[in-house]
Amino acid sequence: MALLGAPSLRPGSLASIRVSALLAFGAPAVAAPARACFSRPNRSLVSTAATPANDRFESAQLTNAIQQIDKPSRPQQYKDVVLSSLPPTATPSDIRSLALGKTRNDLARIEFLYTKSMRPSGRAIASFSNAGHARTFEETVQGRILGGRQVQARLQSAERRDAFLQSHYASWSWHYQLPLDLIEYERGTLVLLRNIPQDTFEARLEERLASRYDLRQQDRWRGKRTAYPGYFHDKKGYGGSHDVVLGGVLKLPKAHPDATTTSFIVRCQSAFEANRLVRRWHNTYFAPATFDIQDTAGRYRVAASVLY
């Protein structure tokens, strides 16, 4: 009975080059194809069945070897740490105090997450430029006590960080985009005044505050749109830049249609002025005679805090 073997690997042929590449890259050698037995040689079977199957097998082995070589030796970089269970009065200085040595110097950015009333949600994102420092910070902060609360820390990649911000803000109204972007550019110099009667106007409040505090002058404010409010409703409105005229006071949208109080963001020239305004206004009762509106009978107790 005649034996029909696979085509020999001639020097310089494509198959010999592939096998050489596999051996050079440390991939498993390709086993020699099994000899098929036929009563009569059938060249059509050899050309259409045996050879293409071998070529596909060798190509798959070579591709797998190259993928193993091209595979990055380092894991995905995790440079963001999500902090939760933070006290509502936590500041960037408090978070930086939890880091030590080079880790503290590498802490590039701290972003606090807020509720719809612009109050701290107890969560923040600490961003580093070095993945090793981010991991060290997570291990150091996990379980630490800050303001009577046990802080929780979790590493995040850049993609997971964006998804985390979208899940928190994207379902909000697009009206919150400007206040959040304003915090990004002027953090530490903005003061949030809450529980002020809804009938109060921006111009009237700014007129009274400007005589005692150093506020920003009215100008055309431009800034990049980076916040995610309204992203789930209309992705076309995300991106680009703001181009609005802002003064020293910005009135925030109503928390709900029947709200009788509102909140304002006061834009101070410096962090010193912002803290001075908070010390003077926090936990004080709103004086209606000062703003020429209806008598409130002490129902409105103002809460003031710095936005970071």
pTM of the model: 0.70
d(CA 227, CA 185): 12
| Tens-level pLDDT at each residue, the chain (308 residues) | 444 444 444 444 444 444 454 444 444 444 444 444 444 444 444 444 444 555 555 555 545 544 544 444 445 689 999 999 999 999 999 999 999 889 999 999 999 999 999 999 999 999 999 999 999 999 999 999 999 999 999 999 989 999 999 999 988 888 899 999 999 999 999 999 999 988 889 999 999 899 999 999 998 888 888 888 887 766 655 667 788 889 999 999 888 888 889 999 999 999 999 999 999 999 988 765 554 445 555 678 899 999 99
Q: Are 64 and 25 in contact (CB under 8 A)?
A: no
Residue 172 DSSP label: S
Task: Return the structure tokens found at 43.
Answer: 């060249």
d(CA 297, CA 308): 33
Residue ranges and CATH numbers for the domains of the chain are 11-70 (no CATH), 72-169 (3.30.70.330), 172-308 (3.30.70.330)
Task: Return the structure tokens found at 261.
Answer: 């109080």
In this predicted model, what pLDDT tens digit does every residue of 220-249 receive, in sequence order? 888 888 888 887 766 655 667 788 889 999
**What is each CA distance from 27 to 9, 30, 63, 116, 191, in whole angstroms?**
19, 9, 10, 57, 63
